[in-house]
Amino acid sequence: MIHYSTCEEIKACRAFALERNRQMFAEAQALSRSAFELLEDSEMDGELFDRYLDIRRKANLKFQEAIEHLRVLNADFPPVSPSTQNAQRLHREAESRV
């Protein structure tokens, strides 16, 4: 039997993936903020600046990971169009009559 994902299943998967993506961006933003907080220290030295650069690299990698995740998410779970929703509803109605 062929299984067609319902509009609701697709929406739920997309919502779950979007929430994870939001968390990834939040993590990247938190890393970025902590890196910039190091720059506000009046006792900046070479070691502290190296630490700043390391945290910025981690933040940039996390931002790239979140962007790639969003790209894949949009490819795998594109927003469901109203016409697709209507077609799936009509398909379900037709099956229930049989």
Q: Higher model confidence: residue 60 or residue 13?
A: 60
Tens-digit pLDDT profile for residues 1-50: 455 567 788 888 889 999 999 999 999 999 999 999 998 877 888 999 99
**pLDDT band with cut points at 50, 70 and 90 for residue 76:** confident
Q: Higher model confidence: residue 56 or residue 42?
A: 56
Q: How many CB atoms lie within 10 A of CB 66?
A: 20
* Own/partner pairs, 11-15, CB within 8 angstroms, 24+ separation: 11/80, 13/77, 14/73, 14/77, 14/79, 14/80
Q: Which of 30, 95, 37 is nearest to 58 (CA)?
A: 30
**pLDDT band with cut points at 50, 70 and 90 for residue 67:** very high
